[in-house]
Amino acid sequence: MIPIGRGQRQLILGDNGTGKSSLALDTVINQRGQGTYCVYVLIGQKRSTVINVINTLRYAGALEHTTLVVAEATALPGLNYLAPYAGCAVAEHWLHRGQHTLVVFDDLTTHALTYRELSLLLNRPPGREAYPGDIFHIHARLLERATCLAPAAGGGSLTALPIVETKEGDIASYIPTNLISITDGQIYLDKGMFAAGRLPAIDVTRSVSRIGGKAQHPRLKQEAGRMKLDYLQFLELEAFTRFGTRLEASLERRIKRGKVLRASLEQERSSPVSATFLLAWVIAVNEGLLDNLTAEQIPKFMDRIDAQLRASELDLQHERTLWVSALREWLGTGPTSQEQSHE
């Protein structure tokens, strides 16, 4: 629902402890075997955090295609300031050799604080929130290195995933506002969803990709657009039920289907899925093949789809009718709820 294309700058933001780094790590892990070189830049992080990142990548087999640039919390401010530029330089080396690269900056809030500290020590005039006037410039200069080269120039790409921390969900503060205006979209992680155990805690209503479906396969674009609309309508209907509003039977069915959809959106950490699985899952949701399930049954059926898909030869190029018939066979379902109501 939030596509990210090569050469894009997609911001990941949210409060502390909402899974921002986990989402970025899953993206790095998902590049395994796809020919994409990754650079993970840790800015001002604790040594325990650095060790956890290394162990996570090693356990997932992602260290082979990943370079880590680390400036620990105990490092000098100058090293914390230079760390993202060093990581970007490493990625650009591969970019100009025609490789596809992904850079994660974890996180630019710490980088901004470091730059503010250095500027105040140099007696530079402070501006808003005591940041120097060129704080926007240094982040724009960094993130605008993300690009997708023409085939004549090698055809490489550099995709950037900057991370920024918010305070109490306030995305209108200085640094988040700056980075939102620089990037091509944002993925917002909600603290309330995280506390409720709905992981990843991505708030679809506040997340957006300005590239849109141009970065998606046409089949995925068609199916995901319909699913996102259904999910947003469900969220609106769910808000009414909190006031004890009595709903019609048709609306009750839509509420139930929305809860199943929300349960199917949940995903375990360090378990990225392929584009083929995404297409199978979205078609199953849009066809109503999961409507009669409870939220607790969803993980088992997702595993069944994954296992059957690995043994089949279906891919993104096959016709939708083949996908629907295969999914009905795998899930053991009959006609959809829409077909039953039509009959």
Query: Which of the listed residues 190, 212, 234 is the one where a domain comes to its end?
Result: 212
Q: Provide the CA 72 distance to its chain's centre, in angstroms.
A: 25
Angle at 53 between CA 142 and CA 29, to 5 degrees: 80
Distance between CA atoms of residues 150 and 100, nearest Å? 12
Q: What is the DSSP letter of 196?
A: T
CA–CA gap between residue 165 and residue 12 (Å, rounded): 9
Q: Say how far apart CA 165 and CA 20 lie, in whole Å.
A: 9
Token pair listed for 144 = 């605008």
2 found inside a domain: no
The reply to whether 201 and 242 lie within a common domain is: no
In three-state form (DSSP H/G/I as H, E/B as E, the rest C), the secondary structure along 171-189 is CCCHHHHHHHHHCCEEEEE
Q: Using the structure block, give the residue that is written with the tokens 């994409």.
A: 36
* 59 neighbors 25 (Cβ within 8 angstroms): no
Structural domain count of the chain:
2
The domain in which residue 321 lies consists of 219-342
The residue among 187, 212, 237 that closes a domain is: 212
Q: Could you list the active site residues?
A: 210
User: Of the candidates 65, 204, 44, which has an alpha carbon nearest to the alpha carbon of residue 111?
Assistant: 44
- Residue 100, in any domain of the structure: yes
Same domain, 236 and 144: no
Task: Give me the tens of pLDDT residue by residue for the chain, a chain 343 residues long.
Answer: 788 889 999 999 999 999 999 999 999 999 998 999 999 999 999 999 999 999 999 999 999 999 999 999 999 999 999 999 999 999 999 999 999 999 999 999 999 999 999 999 999 999 999 999 899 999 999 999 999 999 999 999 999 999 999 998 899 999 999 999 999 999 999 999 999 888 899 998 899 888 877 778 888 888 888 888 888 888 888 877 777 667 788 888 888 888 888 888 888 887 888 889 999 999 998 898 988 888 788 888 888 999 999 898 898 889 999 999 999 999 886 444 444 444 4
CATH number where 114 lies: 3.40.50.300
